[in-house]
Structures are given as structure tokens and as C-alpha cells.
Structure 1
Amino acid sequence: MTDISWYSAILIGLAGSVHCAGMCGGIVTSFTFMLPKAQSPLPYMLAYNGGRILSYAIAGGIAGYLGSMVSSRSWINPQFLPLLGGVFMILLGLYIGQWLNWLTRIEKLGGYFWRLIQPASKRFIPFKHPIYALPYGMIWGWLPCGLVYSTLTWSVASGSAKIGFLTMLLFGLGTLPIMLAMGASAKTIRHYLANRFVRQSVATILTIFGLLLTYRAIHNW
């Protein structure tokens, strides 16, 4: 799983940026209005996204540790967790393509935790310095997201806290280019990525990739 997930995590982050643009575009737009006037937004965007990616990596480490506890059970087939990752990748593709929205149910479960921590982000605004954007981004990194949850299953499947941490770190870095670009030209980027052909092309690629992962897990069962 390791040799595939590390490279693929970056690609999934890049491809899943279509979803990020739709879900987080409004957040990024609002973020730019909280910045001090006459200052470059880049340091603030880098700090915010750095915090967001760090939260992904921490979640990946936790998920990987939980996966190690599951995989250590002798009665569990070692292909179960890779199969779970493949299935969630299929669900992600169907979700982004707006063909099946089962992942929204999982997002609702994450919403309970999100409502507990989200108010803490208000302590850091308005931003007096880019460092304030770092913890703000760390909190917003826990925003319920089907894309993140689907990729987290790879961390679980890795059966390692270290690999889970690195997998989600690379995934987060994959989402970084589009998030920075949206900070500079949010309306233009969102308009392009909202195109139905773009979304469904990406969704098809992710679905096929998930089918391949699922087939391999079943074949090696």
C-alpha cells in the first residue's frame, strides 16, 4: 500500500481540488477579507494552508495508528483495509461527480466535532500577523469533508501512524496549488472548476482508480 498511496496521495489532492474549490471557495474568499489592508496576502495564505495541512497530517497519523491496531488482529484479513480504501475512493469519485452523495452522511457525523471546535477559530481574527493564520488554518483543517475522509482511509489501511501522517501530508500538499491560486483569483478559478465536464472528468478518473484498488484487494484476498 505504501508505494502506491504516497505518490497517489498528491495526485488525489490535485484532482480533488475540484471539490476543494467548490466547498472551500467561499471560505478562501472570506479569508481574504480578514487580511490587513495594504499587505501581501501570500504569507497569510501560506500560514493558513500550512495549518490546514498539518491538521490533515495529524489526522492521518491518528488514523494510521488505529489501522495498526486493527491490522494486528489475526482474525482480520490483511486485505480488508486496502479494500476499504478502494471502496471509499469509488464513493469519492461518485461524490465529486454528483452521482451518489453517500459521503455527505459521513460529513454530517464529522459535523458534531466541528461544531465544538469551530468557535475557537474566532480568537485569531482579525489577523494581526501571519502567525495568527496558522492556528486558524489548523482548526479549519477539521472542517467535515468527504474528500479528506476518503483519503484518511488510506492512512487507516497503511497500518502505521508514520505512514498515515506522511500520506495525509502529501495529500494536503496536493491541494495547496489550487488553494493558493484561489486566494489570488477565487472567482476565476471557481468558475472554471465548477464546469460540469471538468468535475465529471476528475470524478471518472477517481472512480476508475478506486475500482482498480478494490479489484486488487479482492484478487489478493
Structure 2
Amino acid sequence: MNEAISLIGAFSAGLLGGVHCVGMCGGIVGALSIASPGARPAARLPMLFSYNSGRLLSYGVAGGLFGALGQLSLPLQQVQLMQSVLAVVAGIMMLLLGLYIGGWSRVLRHVEIVGGYFWRLIEPLGRGLLPVRNPLQGLLLGMLWGWLPCGLVYSMLIWALASGSAINGALLLLAFGVGTLPNLLATGLFANRFVSFVQQPRMRTVAGLMLIAFGVYTLSRAVF
């Protein structure tokens, strides 16, 4: 049951964090849509699905690695204690993310800046795949995009670290990735109209408050 609740929670975090995803990745999705053949939104779907499939694949790999790291880094008798500690950290990260998306704190922005140093090593690889002309290129570019520095993803990776196994960590990140799909697919299909809607202060406030509530729930599960 705990695993099911965690997967639902990760999916919800991806869905609610869509405001942040659109802000971080909207330009990338927009560029892909321009490169996609056909003027109608439906004509862009194959490219968008290949792109996002690559992104989810990277999330699953990262989640599996962090889950395995959490499983192997401690003696068995200390695993449960460390999982509780990391669950508290994950809850705090969700609180910070809610504050960040709502525009009330920029602490996570500094975390993303640190991750940006790693991204600079990967980003040049993506330039060789532009412009994207076929789904295979979209898949490969999406796999690179999955490593874009993002406070929301980092929160999920900490959660994966506390998940207890590589499989649980991978499933957690995949559930999160699926939760981000509606917002990013809508961005690719409807471009500026959807981005403008999602980026409204009211939408950011609602998403921020819901993520804060989710962070409080995560903390309560870890503490009680």
C-alpha cells in the first residue's frame, strides 16, 4: 500500500508541478513543435510522444540509480531509519518547491543553478540533434532533456533515494514523469496559448499551495 501511495503522490507532484515544467521546458517543447511536420496539432503528436518518451526513460534510469544507491549505501538495520530521514527531506523539498512555484521563495533556484554546471556538459550533445526531423532524433533529444536541472526532479530523486530499491526508485520517477505529460503535451500542441494560461499568477498560486499541502502530507507520513 505504501508503494501505491508513493506512486500516486509522485504522479500528483508531476501534475501539480506542471506550472514549473512549462516554465522550464516550454521553450524546448515549442521548438520541437515548430520542427514537427504539419500545421495541425495532431500532426505534432508522434514527435512529442517520442520526445517525452526519451525524457521519461532518463527519469526512470535516474530513479533506479538513486534507489539502488539508497539500498546499497547502508547496512540493513539502518535502512529504515535513513528512509525516514530522507522522507522528511523529500517533504521539505516539496514545501520549498511549492513556495518556489507560488513565487514566495527562490531557494530551489539556487539548487537548479548548481545542477546547471552538470547540464553544461550534456547540453552541447543536444545541439547535434537539432533541428529535430524524425522521432528517433526526438527520442534521443528527450533522453538528454531528462537531465535538465530542475528542482522538482531533484525532489523526486531524494524520494527515490529513500524508496528502498532500484525498482521502486525507477517506478517513482516514471510515475512522476507521467504526471508531467499533460502539461507538456498541451504546451507542444497549443504553444503560447497554453503557456500563457498556465503561467498566470492565479495558476501558480493554486499549484504552489497544493504542492505545499502535499509536502506537509509527505512529512506527516514520515514522522507519524
User: TM-score, length-normalised on structure 1?
Assistant: 0.92
In 1, are the aligned partners of 2:35 and 2:133 still within 8 Å (CA)? Answer: no
Greater displacement, 59-68 / 76-85: 76-85
Residue in 2 that maps onto 1:115? 120
Q: 1:211 to 1:38 in 2, by over 3 A?
A: closer
Where structure 1 has 5 or more consecutive residues not aligned to the other structure, the ranges are none
Deviation at 1:216, TM superposition (A): 3.1
Could you tell me which residue of structure 2 aligns to residue 66 of structure 1?
69
Match of 2:30 in 1: 29
Deviates more, 1:200-209 or 1:163-172: 200-209
Q: Residue 142 of structure 1: SS of its match in structure 2?
A: coil
Partner of 1:141: 146
Q: Deviations over 1:59-93 (max 9, x none)?
A: 11111111113453645724112111111111111
Fraction of identical pairs, as percent:
44
Paired letter, 1:177: P
Q: Distance in 2 between matches of 1:154 and 1:208?
A: 17
On the 8 A contact 1:12/1:171 being kept in 2, the answer is yes
Corresponding position of 1:170: 175
The normalised TM-score by structure 2 is 0.91
Kept after mapping to 2: 8 A contact 1:35/1:126? no
Q: Is residue 2:152 matched to residue 1:151?
A: no
* 2:89 aligned partner: 84
Of 43, 46, 56, 1:53 maps to 56
Distance in structure 2 (CA, Å) of the matches to 1:71 and 1:31: 43
Q: Which residue is 1:41 aligned to?
A: 44
Root mean square deviation of aligned Cα? 1.8
Q: Per-residue displacement from partner, 1:148-197 (whole Å, max 9, x unpaired)? A: 11122211110211000011011111111111111111111111111111
CA distance in 2, matches of 1:49, 1:116: 21
Aligned length: 219
